[in-house]
Amino acid sequence: MINRRMMLALAAGLAFSASAASAQDWKAKYPELVFAKVPDENASGTSDRWTPLTEYLSRELGTKVTLRIANDYAAVIEGQRAGNIHIAMYGPASYARAYIVGAKVEPFAIEVSGDGTKGYYSVLYVKSDSGYKDIKELKGKNLCLVDPNSTSGNNVPRFAMDKMGIDPEKFFSKVVYSGSHENAVIGLAQGTCDAAFNWWNDEKESNLLRMERKGMAKAADFRVIFKSEQIVNSPMAYLGSLPADLKAAIKKAVLEVATKDKAAFDKIYEGKQQPFVEVDHKAYEPVVDLIKFVDSIRKQKS
């Protein structure tokens, strides 16, 4: 005679079997997942910083996760739009651009700064020994931006300058896209530009401080003459077309990496940031509006 306990055990067993079968289904369909990071630093730095995470994800998911080193932000956006990149670590603006151009992506995890906030800033650096104290003193000089799809390295700066009545292409002698945040600082150090926009979390962490730790720059050689309003932190997003159980597994693994593989997490943020937390598209709606506004400025001036 089948009693209630046996029925519950049978139901649990069937549920487990169904779940296991479903997992096997997506592992057969996705023998390899591709993870890409927008290149806010140079290729070797991106590889060193993010490879341990992809190795961790491979172990947790039971399927190979490969890191793809992109040449520019647009390559990540187009890779997800084409369905060739399954998981991507974006900047806020590059995620917003992916959303605007129709990439079927879903943000699921957000960076958390060391102070517990979910935001960072765009700053404008000049050399410490220069006399510049305000962005308006840079008229006729050269400016380094990062990438057209960089939040702190292009879109927020353009929005801020527009509010100041500054048209960068007319105000500066030359506007240079450096390609990465590191290259923008290097351009400033080498004299390619007189000022450079970059990302900055707080006094304890920024791209400049990361570069100093790698021996690429001395923070004391630069100073900030502009700081933006707070920007929502960067999201990680996966393809919306992935199976629900695969997405759930990816999200769980990412949200748990700081405890399950602290070394991999610390390799990314060097102990300067807190664990990822869950996020959804709503958090980035203001950034989508910002990108649309910056696009409208360009159209008006073209």
Radius of gyration in angstroms for the set of CA atoms belonging to the chain, rounded to a whole number = 22
Q: Which residues of the chain have pLDDT under 50?
A: 1, 11, 14-18
d(CA 54, CA 87): 10
- Helices assigned H by DSSP within 30-72: 43-61
Contact 98, 90 (CB under 8 A): yes
Contact 94, 151 (CB under 8 A): yes
Secondary structure (3-state) at 150: coil
Tokens of 252: 């769980």
Distances (CA, A) of 167 to 98, 102, 226: 26, 29, 16
CA angle, residues 192, 201, 75, in degrees to nearest 5? 60
pLDDT number for residue 13: 52
Q: Please provide the distance, in angstroms rounded to a whole number, between the alpha carbons at the two ends of the chain.
A: 80
Tokens of 106: 């879903």
Query: Pairing mode, if any, of strands 32-37 and 64-69?
Result: parallel
Q: Which residues pair with 175 in a beta bridge?
A: 143
Secondary structure (3-state) at 119: strand
d(CA 223, CA 217): 13
Q: Which residues pair with 122 in a beta bridge?
A: 199
d(CA 265, CA 26): 26
Report which of 232, 243, 218 is spatially closest to residue 290, judged by C-alpha positions: 232
Contact 85, 77 (CB under 8 A): no
Q: Say which residues have a Cβ less than 8 Å from residue 6's Cβ, sequence separation at least 6.
A: none
- Per-residue DSSP letter, 182: H
pLDDT number for residue 1: 47
pTM of the model: 0.88
